[in-house]
Structure 1
Amino acid sequence: MKMASHRENNIANYQIISILGHCFNQLAVVQLAKFIPTGAMVAIKKFDMDKIKEAYLVESEIILTRQLNHPNIIKYIVAFVSGPQVCVVSPLMAYGSCRDLLSRHFNEGLCEPAIILIIRDVLDALDYIHKKGYIHRAIRGSHILISDNGKACLAGLRYACPIVLNGKWQRSIHSFPSTTERNLNWLSPELLEQNLKGYNEKSDIYSIGIVVCELSNGIEPFAGMSKTLMLTEKVRGYAPSILDSTTIPRDENIESGGDCEISTNILNRRFSDDLHEITNLCLHREAYDRPTAGQLLTHPIFKNNKRLLPLPELLKPALPLSDRVGYDTV
């Protein structure tokens, strides 16, 4: 692990430009900053440790993220203490998170080529994490960050748990993350049930299916639903779907703007059979019916990526932070 220089771990060497957003239940702020000695633009995540009760989550996220080394996992350049704050410096992800993109530019979802490129990168990261012996347990749009050159990077590792215990690979895990309320809609039925069977790394594959729906539809399944009903629907085997002309009944109530108003764009669009298929594979009720991340990467939908436009082209009119006029403050 690279040792931090005095310049890197001195907050005085960072010029804060603007606030990019908040995380950790609003107890941490993410700021755009310039590293003065080199002029490099970075993101600084500042955790207010006087207000955070689960300090161990901050520590575990920093330790695990620094241990992992993969191009599709967010990199922590350095972490240091400044007064009551723990500061974590990472490369600037100029397009923000997938959730940011959906909220600001793509309310009805991304185009299929963009979804394919993002999910392929996330699966590459997930395959690596699982082989390293960890379950992510928090895969969601807000934990997928996009760099200026269109690389998707997985973050949110504070919720991860090891599969290996005392040097032995466990067939199932029974621990439940205590601070995971915001992740519930993405979690698998077996993780939420907390039964004697437990869960394994394939619970993350279910979350991938939910993310495909989120990126396709502009919002994750079960949004706005009570937690009890969401759990009931998952346990009984209800599988969400990506919304297009093949999955939405074209009745007069919908088209006339009834109880479930859906736009004409969504009613008329058509995702490929392959995208529908990988969504269904991920959202199988039983974990043993789901493929691994490595198996999903062999699916034909990920084989012809060279024919696709680069992700930045597919994300227009969204612009990377460096190309915007000024900087937005969230």
Structure 2
Amino acid sequence: MSIAQFGKKFPILLKTPNPKGAVELIEIIGKGNYGNVYKGRLTSTNELTAVKVVLLKEEELRETLLEMEFLKSCNHKNVTKFMGLFLKGFDLWICMELCGGGALDSVYRNLRKPLNEDQICSIMFESIEGLDYIHKNSIIHRDIKAGNLFLTDNGEIKLGDFGVSAKLQHAYGRARTFIGTPYWMAPEVIMCDPESPTSYNASYNSKADIWSIGITAIEIADKNPPLSDIHPMRALTLIPTSELSLAKPKNWSKLFNEFIAICLTKDPNKRPSAEDLLKHPFLQRARNLRRNAILTDMIQKSKMGKEKSKLGIPVDDDEEFANFDEIVTEEVKNTLPPSQLQKQNSENNVQVSFYFHYRWS
């Protein structure tokens, strides 16, 4: 398909400017099958941005443009900020807020110890504030998980990757598409599977995101969502009837266990809204926490853990992180060539979220 044909089918492309002179690419910070992600700078404002460069593909363009429309309308501290759309030949340049802390799943996997409740409480509070905002604007995310929660260097949590989200006609509207990532999917979404005998009258609303945030709470506590040890299609058959919980509930507070339990209420009509969850005692304690400081510290330890893994240096406990610079600075200089050392020093650790989802429209 030619650019003219793309423009005829998607008129917005005819008004999309060329990035020349508007966006400066600094370095690659991520690669994927869809294309590359760069750290960039908007020349008009001198703001840093994450630039995803993707090849125009008709089958994916509609979802990409829909995501852009959602994000253009969003203005909240816990939602990734859309910063611009450009077109160069057949390459679409999507400029988003740069989240230097990376995706949450990358952060927790680089930590040697499980997250503690203060960290989890801070993450949940910030994430649910973002959910409350999009739900009140009639948007369902539909793919909430740690891989789609991003952190800035100053410890802010941002909802990201709205590529499969849905815009409802009104706040009480419903969706019918079977979509999401299996282990995090709510029972009512699974019932929309066209292969299911219940699909003919199945639907769901923003409460599906609440189920997913409950699964995400388990994911970041246990480093995996429930049922992750079995095939995703098998998991889909078990989720509606299984009682899902933390792997070792007794290792966690009663409030945290209760918070997860109400998120995972099977009946969506009895499941709390994001606004309701913010009043739950587990999240109320977040108001008294220094959330940004807690999450900034977590990000720094994660980055150090990543560097230690690259160097093959074992980590026994958090005390070792305190002396990280003294321990490895000379070793880094002695083992890496200058070009690689420069790359190590400038690495931004912005995580590109790779995910798969099922969709039947």
Larger Rg: 2
| TM-score bracket for the superposition, by shorter chain length | 0.7 to 0.9
Which residue is equivalent to 2:302? 318
Q: Does residue 259 of structure 2 align to residue 278 of structure 1?
A: yes
> Which residue, 154, 174, 193 being the options, matches 2:159?
154
CA distance in structure 2 between the aligned counterparts of 1:307 and 1:128, rounded to whole angstroms:
21
CA shift, 1:306, in A, is 4.8
Q: How many correspondences in the alignment? A: 286
> Which residue, 165, 187, 194 being the options, matches 1:189?
187
CA distance in structure 2 between the aligned counterparts of 1:303 and 1:102, rounded to whole angstroms:
23
Report the AA paired with residue 91 of structure 2: Q
CA shift, 1:220, in A, is 2.0
Which residue is equivalent to 2:55? 48
TM-score between the two structures when normalised by the length of structure 2: 0.72
Q: Secondary structure at the match of 1:294?
A: helix
Contact 1:109–1:214 at 8 Å: present in 2 too? no
CA distance in structure 1 between the aligned counterparts of 2:101 and 2:272, rounded to whole angstroms:
30
Which residue is equivalent to 2:320? none
CA shift, 1:148, in A, is 1.2
- Is the alpha carbon distance of 1:169 and 1:229 closer, same or farther for their aligned partners in structure 2, counting shifts above 3 Å? same
- List runs of 5+ in structure 2 lacking aligned partners: 1-16, 193-198, 307-343, 352-361
Q: Secondary structure at the match of 1:33?
A: strand
Which residue is equivalent to 2:213? 208
- Is the alpha carbon distance of 1:201 and 1:120 closer, same or farther for their aligned partners in structure 2, counting shifts above 3 Å? same
Which residue is equivalent to 2:245? 241
* Per-residue CA distance 1:296-324 (angstroms, 9 max, x = gap): 00011222335434221244413499xx7
CA shift, 1:207, in A, is 0.2
Q: Cα RMSD between the aligned structures?
A: 2.6
Which residue is equivalent to 1:327? 347
Q: Does residue 230 of structure 2 align to residue 225 of structure 1?
A: yes
CA distance in structure 1 between the aligned counterparts of 2:276 and 2:346, rounded to whole angstroms:
43
CA shift, 1:328, in A, is 6.2
Q: Secondary structure at the match of 2:108?
A: helix
Which residue is equivalent to 2:309? none
Which residue is equivalent to 1:103? 109
Q: Does residue 27 of structure 2 align to residue 18 of structure 1?
A: yes
CA shift, 1:73, in A, is 0.5
> Which residue, 90, 105, 127 being the options, matches 2:96?
90
Contact 2:118–2:289 at 8 Å: present in 1 too? yes
Which residue is equivalent to 1:132? 137
> Which residue, 241, 252, 275 being the options, matches 1:294?
275
Which residue is equivalent to 1:61? 67
Q: Secondary structure at the match of 1:213?
A: helix
CA shift, 1:204, in A, is 0.7
* Per-residue CA distance 1:104-144 (angstroms, 9 max, x = gap): 235x6422111111111111111111111121101111111
> Which residue, 33, 36, 45 being the options, matches 2:40?
33
Contact 1:213–1:240 at 8 Å: present in 2 too? no
Contact 2:130–2:159 at 8 Å: present in 1 too? yes
CA distance in structure 1 between the aligned counterparts of 2:177 and 2:289, rounded to whole angstroms:
41
Which residue is equivalent to 1:3? none
Report the AA paired with residue 283 of structure 2: F
CA distance in structure 2 between the aligned counterparts of 1:328 and 1:132, rounded to whole angstroms:
32
- Is the alpha carbon distance of 1:245 and 1:286 closer, same or farther for their aligned partners in structure 2, counting shifts above 3 Å? closer
Q: Secondary structure at the match of 1:157?
A: coil
CA distance in structure 2 between the aligned counterparts of 1:306 and 1:168, rounded to whole angstroms:
27
Report the AA paired with residue 345 of structure 2: V
Contact 2:39–2:49 at 8 Å: present in 1 too? yes
Report the AA paired with residue 60 of structure 2: E
Which residue is equivalent to 1:174? 176
CA distance in structure 2 between the aligned counterparts of 1:91 and 1:302, rounded to whole angstroms:
26
Q: Secondary structure at the match of 1:43?
A: strand
- Is the alpha carbon distance of 1:78 and 1:301 closer, same or farther for their aligned partners in structure 2, counting shifts above 3 Å? same
CA distance in structure 2 between the aligned counterparts of 1:149 and 1:83, rounded to whole angstroms:
36
TM-score between the two structures when normalised by the length of structure 1: 0.78
Which residue is equivalent to 2:119? 114
Report the AA paired with residue 17 of structure 1: I
Alignment of 1:70-89 (within 5 A): 70-89=76-95
- Is the alpha carbon distance of 1:81 and 1:140 closer, same or farther for their aligned partners in structure 2, counting shifts above 3 Å? same
Give the stretch that moved more between structures: 138-147 or 28-37: 28-37
- List runs of 5+ in structure 1 lacking aligned partners: 1-7, 247-269
